[in-house]
Amino acid sequence: MEVELKEMLNDLESLKRSLTDPSHSAPIDKLQLRVERLTSLAKTGPVRRSKVQDMSAEVVDSNPYSRLMALQRMGIVKNYERIREFSVAIVGVGGVGSVAAEMLTRCGIGRLLLYDYDKVELANMNRLFFRPEQSGMTKTDAAVQTLSDINPDVVLESYTLNITTVQGFETFTSSLKDKSFRPNKEGSGVDLVLSCVDNYEARMAVNQACNELNQTWMESGVSEDAVSGHIQLLIPGETACFACAPPLVVASGIDERTLKREGVCAASLPTTMGVVAGLLVQNTLKYLLNFGNVSPYLGYNSLKDFFPTMEMKPNPQCSNFACLERQKEYLLVKPARDAASKAKMEAEASSVTEAPLHLDNEWEISVVDDSEPDRKEAKSSDALPEGLVRELPSADDFQKPPAEAADSTVDDLEELRKQLDALNS
């Protein structure tokens, strides 16, 4: 618009010069004034926030990172600024994925990869993120528009494709392999894949890609009655993959397209999806920035405000070939990994003994660390991935008669099975 207005000013100027009668110059002056006023109006459009070179902890109203960098001063995170090094892929930019993308963008994640093939509709307005005026845009385009306005520091890559098609799957896996953002990174080009899709096929596609690439990922889902959801951590070879124990995980996905075609649709709520996105990204931050305990599985039953946890070991008879390969590799490196982590723990323990913080301990006060006994257990012989906690009996215990397991454990499984039965009926 500004270009058009400038050209108009030039046109008016040459018209004025071509007119010989001086009585005509007054209306042209008036027109020029009008155009100038319009130019300044057009310029006062939305002001974009500029890029920030380094994350600062300075407490000023203009610093978009002050409240995040404060996590270091509070002793929660050792080095918050590392978040700029990480790449996260979000598959599915719907009710959960879009909110997860916004949270990571506001946290200043280094790079976000977004995948979706759907368009924004007014029927999506009962969930957070998309705005009515974005109706008709692809979800990826609308998301990039909103996210780049919110935080221009984040590198955004969007892919408008269906990962369950042959072509889509190929583009998906090759985009995960691309290391141009951090060339010296080990493994694939992303640090974590978040699955925020709403159907079984798409979950199986994410599972296949991550098993092939040995890529850690997190799964999320919301039930079709809108009142429960879950998140799950999947480490190829180390935890159950999506094909190892599908019944417990499928329970929450139904293809929106199938439902729409039949003239019905799944219910959804911004609350349940917001909570699931929040739990998912919170665990993503814990995983990337190495604080707290990453949940292997966390459910959310909103009717009772009940949050079941559990853990699933890989299935040695899994139907997924890549999963079996990763299981073999994991068992091969397991003894070395256990020894290394044991040695590291002992070194840390002895270094603490060698250099006490307070040398003049005349009262012989000693600190007993009883806050995280689970984490220590996890690092010992029982082969739990780092950061995982055994809140419920391990997968092996589930095979014993129910009488031996804790009450709450049985409830969780029963409940999940009931949900599954309801879906399958």
Contact between 279 and its own copies per CB under 8 A = yes
Site for its own copies in 16-45 (CB under 8 A): 18-19, 24, 27-28, 30-31, 34-35, 37-38, 41-42
Asked if 265 is an active-site residue, the reply is yes
Closest approach of its own copies to the CB of residue 2, in Å: 11
Tell me the CB-side half-sphere exposure of residue 294, using CA atoms within 13 A. Answer: 25
Q: Which is nearer to its own copies, 222 or 324 (CB)?
A: 222
From 83, 93, 96, 99, residue interacting with its own copies (rule: CB under 8 A): 99
From 22, 40, 264, 365, residue interacting with its own copies (rule: CB under 8 A): 264
Closest approach of its own copies to the CB of residue 366, in Å: 20
Q: Identify whether the C-beta of residue 378 lies closer than 8 Å to the C-beta of residue 386.
A: yes
Site for its own copies in 365-424 (CB under 8 A): 389
Closest approach of its own copies to the CB of residue 226, in Å: 6
Closest approach of its own copies to the CB of residue 135, in Å: 8
Q: Which is nearer to its own copies, 31 or 331 (CB)?
A: 31
Q: Angle at Cα 218 formed by Cα 215 and Cα 224, nearest 5°? A: 140
Q: Which is nearer to its own copies, 141 or 225 (CB)?
A: 225
Q: Mask: binding to its own copies, 307-336, rule CB under 8 A, as x and -? A: x-x---------------------------
Contact between 232 and its own copies per CB under 8 A = no
Q: Which is nearer to its own copies, 128 or 245 (CB)?
A: 128
Closest approach of its own copies to the CB of residue 340, in Å: 25
The amino acid sitting at 361 is N
Regarding beta strands 87-91 and 192-195, do their DSSP bridges make them parallel or antiparallel, or are they unpaired?
parallel
Q: Mask: binding to its own copies, 154-193, rule CB under 8 A, as x and -? A: ----------------------------------------
Task: Work out the burial of residue 60: count CB atoms within 10 Å of its CB; fewer than 13 is exposed, 13-18 middle, 19 or more buried.
Answer: exposed
Which of the stretches 4-12, 242-250, 314-322, 361-369 binds its own copies when contact is defined by CB under 8 A? 4-12
* Cα 339 from Cα 335, distance rounded (Å): 6
* Cα 326 from Cα 235, distance rounded (Å): 9
From 117, 162, 270, 331, residue interacting with its own copies (rule: CB under 8 A): 270
Q: Identify whether the C-beta of residue 215 lies closer than 8 Å to the C-beta of residue 188.
A: yes
The amino acid sitting at 215 is Q
The phi, psi pair for 329, rounded to 5°, reads: -55, -45
DSSP state letters, 132-151: GGGTTSBHHHHHHHHHHHH-
Contact between 282 and its own copies per CB under 8 A = yes
Q: Which is nearer to its own copies, 139 or 326 (CB)?
A: 139
* Cα 378 from Cα 51, distance rounded (Å): 41
Site for its own copies in 103-122 (CB under 8 A): 103, 106-108, 121-122
Contact between 51 and its own copies per CB under 8 A = no
Q: Which residues pair with 119 in a beta bridge?
A: 138
Of the residues 107, 241, 265, 318, only one is catalytic, namely 265
DSSP state letters, 29-76: HHHHHHHHHHHHHHHTSPPPPPP-SS------TT-TTHHHHHHHHTTS
The phi, psi pair for 230, rounded to 5°, reads: -160, 160
Give me the active site residues, please: 265
